[in-house]
């Protein structure tokens, strides 16, 4: 446990506990579902556990120290085997330098132990470079994967690389469609996207499934979205209209049987937010229609906000002037509210939970209010005899 403490990472500690509870192993997509974490967070935690020696990746080859090659053996292979000599030169060209001993050991190990042809290993080196991770450990890791997948000929490896290049571009494109711009897909996310690509899922169905997932779960849940798309794929749906027609034909189901506890609570939270937004919008519109001074002040506030957004990259003096103008307009707003006998916070959004704003999640972490609501809903179902 001392190493776990040194890691000083809550996600890693949770993943470690999850793996121990499951008997010492954990599938990352299942752990993400259990811990209610985004796949990227779980994958990062897993990498940290591997780094500290608290876990190992089942896809990795045996540790290098268990199969070190003697320097004279590697040199002998280079002298007598033209194919291996060409592989070494190709790798050095890709790196732009002479191979270090650890890198040469990795190449020698996969070449002699896995019996992968040199031309296949050259493609593998290109693949690692494409992934921006041309390291000894990555070469070993991918070589074991290629060997397990039966990629033993140049043609097979080339087809695999073309597919991976396509999926890499597709993964970035799909993430951007889902509103994620600052990273590439995690390994788990990439597997889901590859499935959808194999099904040739149209973009309009991806968007519709994403929308339904967020409405039901309160956030992007990859497994839930995948189940939606799998159902539509099995039914042969290719357009959003076909999905809507299929929904209308489906027999009605009881809400309690159709929704999980978290889905029911997420729907209630969303309804509460929308009701509050509607109330504030009606209050604002009523004041603007009944008080010309208030309406003009609100227009100036909106104009001030727009100018502030454009001046965000400008000089400090410009921003300071806008802040002063906004403060004056807010003061006028308070004076108008007071003159009409309304409280100062009449137009303020007041969620029940100020931590998450009644969204249920702070980032990707479930808020205490959402957890409490889930417990209460679960207790209600248990008392009513409703299966979860």
Q: Each residue of 7-27: pLDDT tens digit?
A: 466 777 777 777 777 666 666
pLDDT value for 103: 87
The C-alpha atoms of residue 106 and residue 68 are separated, in whole angstroms, by: 9
Q: Supply the DSSP string of 44-64, one letter for each residue.
A: HHHHHHHHTTS---TTSPSPG
Q: Report pLDDT for 116.
A: 81
Structure tokens at 105: 């050991």
For residue 8, give the DSSP letter.
-
> Got the DSSP string for 19-39?
HHHTTS---HHHHHHHHT--H
Kindly list the distances between the CA atom of residue 262 and the CA atoms of 32, 109, 306, in Å, as whole numbers in the listed order. 15, 49, 38
Is the CATH number of domain 66-152 1.10.10? Answer: yes
| Cα radius of gyration (the chain) | 29
According to DSSP, the residues that pair with 361 across neighbouring strands are 366
Quote the pLDDT of residue 229.
Answer: 92
Buried b (16+ CB within 10 A) or exposed e, 132-171: eebebebbbbbbbebbeeebeeeeebeebbeeeeebbebb
Residue 178: predicted pLDDT: 81
- Residue ranges of the chain with per-residue pLDDT less than 70: 1-9, 22-30, 32-33, 38-40, 47-69, 248-259, 305-320, 363-365, 386-388
* pLDDT tens sequence across 170-184: 888 888 888 777 778
**What per-residue confidence (pLDDT) applies to 68?**
58
- Domains of the chain, by residue range, sit at 2-58, 66-152, 165-250
Q: How many Å apart are CA 304 and CA 317, to the nearest integer? A: 15
- Two tokens, residue 166: 């396509």
């Amino acid at each position: 446990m001392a190493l776990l403490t040194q890691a000083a990472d809550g996600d890693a500690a949770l993943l470690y506990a999850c793996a121990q509870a499951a008997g010492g192993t954990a599938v990352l997509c299942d752990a993400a579902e259990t811990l209610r974490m985004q796949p990227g967070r779980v994958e990062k935690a897993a990498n940290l556990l591997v780094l500290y020696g608290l876990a190992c990746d089942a896809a990795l080859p045996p540790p290098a120290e268990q199969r070190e090659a003697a320097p004279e053996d590697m040199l002998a292979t280079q002298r007598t085997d033209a194919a291996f000599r060409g592989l070494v030169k190709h790798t050095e060209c890709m790196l732009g330098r002479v191979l270090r001993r650890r890198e040469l050991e990795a190449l020698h190990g996969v070449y002699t132990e896995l019996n992968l042809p040199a031309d296949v290993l050259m493609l593998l080196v290109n693949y690692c470079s494409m992934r921006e991770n041309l390291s000894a450990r990555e070469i070993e890791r991918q070589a074991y994967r290629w060997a397990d997948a039966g990629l033993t000929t140049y043609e097979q490896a080339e087809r695999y690389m073309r597919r991976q290049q396509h999926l890499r571009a597709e993964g970035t494109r799909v993430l951007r469609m889902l509103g994620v711009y600052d990273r590439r897909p995690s390994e788990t996310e990439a597997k889901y996207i590859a499935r959808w690509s194999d099904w040739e899922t149209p973009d309009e169905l991806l968007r519709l499934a994403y929308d339904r997932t967020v409405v039901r779960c309160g956030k992007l849940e990859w497994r839930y979205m995948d189940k939606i798309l799998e159902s539509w794929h099995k039914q042969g749906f290719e357009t959003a209209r076909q999905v809507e027609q299929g929904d209308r034909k489906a027999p009605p189901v009881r809400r309690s049987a159709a929704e999980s506890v978290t889905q029911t609570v997420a729907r209630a939270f969303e309804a509460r937010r929308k009701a509050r937004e509607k109330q504030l919008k009606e209050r604002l519109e009523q004041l603007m229609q009944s008080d010309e001074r208030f309406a003009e002040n609100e227009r100036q506030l909106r104009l001030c906000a727009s100018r502030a957004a454009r001046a965000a990259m400008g000089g400090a003096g410009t921003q300071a002037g806008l802040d002063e103008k906004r403060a004056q307009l807010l003061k006028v707003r308070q004076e108008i509210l007071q003159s009409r006998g309304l409280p100062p916070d009449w137009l303020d959004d007041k969620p029940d939970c100020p931590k998450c704003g009644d969204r249920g999640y702070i980032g990707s972490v479930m808020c205490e209010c959402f957890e409490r609501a889930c417990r209460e809903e679960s207790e209600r179902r248990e008392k009513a005899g409703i299966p979860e």
